[in-house]
Amino acid sequence: MNNLFAFSGVRGKQYFLTISVIIFTILVWAWERNPLSTTHMSLSQQQFRVHSKEKYSQSFSTKKKSLAPNLWNTTLIGPSTNKEKQVPNSNVTSAPPTALRNDQAEQVPGVFIGKPTVKKVCNFAQGKWVADKKRPFYSGFQCKQWLSPMWACRLMKRKDFSYEGFKWVPDNCDMPDFDRETFLKRMKDKTIAFVGDSLGRQQFQSLMCMATGGRRLKSNVQDVTKEYGLVRPPPAIRNDGYAYRFRKTNTTILFYWSVSLCRLEALNSSNPKNGYFAMHLDQPVTFLKHYLHMFDVLVLNTGHHWNRGKLNLNRWVLYAMGSPVKDKNLLNISGARNFAVYNIVKWVNSQLPHHPRLKAFFRTKSPRHFVDGDWNTGGSCDSTTPLTSGYRVFPQNGSLDAPVETAVHGTDVKILDVTAFSKLRDESHISKFGSKVATHDCLHWCLPGIPDVWNEILFAQI
Helix axes 53-62, 43-51, angle to 10 degrees: 80
- Residue from 82, 102, 314, 351 in contact with ligand NAG (CB under 6 A): 82
**Residue with Cβ nearer ligand NAG (153 or 187):** 187
Give the separation between CA 280 and CA 122, rounded to whole angstroms.
35
The least distance separating ligand NAG from the CB of residue 395, rounded to whole angstroms, comes to 9
Closer residue to ligand NAG (CB): 143 or 415: 415
CB 121 within 8 A of CB 103: yes
Q: Which of residues 269-298 bind ligand NAG (CB under 6 A)?
A: 270-271, 275
Query: Pick from 73, 139, 142, 239: which binds ligand NAG (CB under 6 A)?
Result: 73
* Distance in Å, CB of 430 to ligand NAG, minimum: 22
Q: How far is the CB of 228 from ligand NAG (least distance, A)?
A: 12
Q: Which of 20, 34, 75, 148 binds ligand NAG (CB under 6 A)?
A: 75
DSSP assigned state of 292? G
Choice between 92 and 418, CB closer to ligand NAG: 92
- How far is residue 30 from each of residues 109, 229, 363, measured CA to CA in Å? 18, 48, 34
- Cα separation, 92 vs 379, whole angstroms: 22
Q: Which H helix or E strand runs over 153?
A: none
Q: Tell me how far apart the alpha carbons of residues 252 and 458 are, in angstroms, rounded to a whole number.
A: 16
Q: For residues 72, 75, 77 and 81, what is the CA-based torsion angle, rounded to 10 degrees?
A: 180
Query: Phi first, then psi: what are they for 274, rounded to 5°?
Result: -110, 5
| One residue of 102, 145, 148, 250 binding ligand NAG per CB under 6 A | 250
Decide: is 351 part of the binding site for ligand NAG (CB under 6 A): no
Question: Which position among 334, 351, 384, 461 is part of the footprint of ligand NAG (CB under 6 A)?
Answer: 334
Tell me the pairing of strands 316-320 and 262-266.
unpaired
Instruction: Please tell me the distance from the alpha carbon of residue 73 to that of residue 54, in angstroms, as a whole number.
Output: 17
Which has the closest alpha carbon to 111: 70, 58, 145, 67? 67
| Binding window for ligand NAG (CB under 6 A); candidates: 12-20, 106-114, 183-191, 193-201 | 183-191
Task: Go through 22-55 and write b for each residue having 16 or more CB atoms within 10 A of its CB, e for each that does not.
Answer: ebbeebeeebeeeeeeeeeeebeebbebbeebee
Which span (51-59, 71-79, 201-209, 318-326) binds ligand NAG, by CB under 6 A? Answer: 71-79
Nearer to ligand NAG, 101 or 414 (CB): 101
Q: Which residue sits closest to ligand NAG, CB atoms considered?
A: 271
* Piece of 100-108, 189-197, 283-291, 355-363 that binds ligand NAG (CB under 6 A): 189-197
Show the site string, 398-417: x = touches ligand NAG by CB under 6 A, - = not. Answer: --------------------
Among 20, 93, 145, 461, interactor with ligand NAG by CB under 6 A? 93
d(C-alpha 283, C-alpha 396), whole Å = 33
Span near ligand NAG by CB under 6 A; candidates 4-12, 105-113, 195-203, 333-341? 333-341
Restricted to residues 364-393, the positions that interact with ligand NAG (CB under 6 A) are 389-390
| Sequence letter at residue 276 | Y
Is-contact 105 355, C-beta < 8 A? no
- Element holding 169 (H helix, E strand): strand 166-170
Using alpha carbons only, how large is the chain's radius of gyration in Å?
23
Compute the least distance from the CB of residue 437 to ligand NAG, in Å: 30
State the nearest-atom distance from the C-beta of 83 to ligand NAG, in Å. 8
Q: CB of residue 95 vs ligand NAG: minimum separation in angstroms?
A: 4
Q: Of 46, 74, 206, 301, which one interacts with ligand NAG (CB under 6 A)?
A: 74
Among the listed residues 216, 219, 244, the one whose alpha carbon sits nearest the alpha carbon of residue 230: 244
CB of 335 to ligand NAG, least distance (A): 6
| 456 Cβ contact partners less than 8 Å away, ≥ 6 residues apart | 167, 168, 175, 177, 178
DSSP helix/strand/coil, 350:
helix
222 binds ligand NAG (CB under 6 A): no
Binding site for ligand NAG (CB under 6 A): 70-71, 73-75, 82, 91, 93-95, 189-191, 250, 268, 270-271, 275, 332-335, 389-390, 397
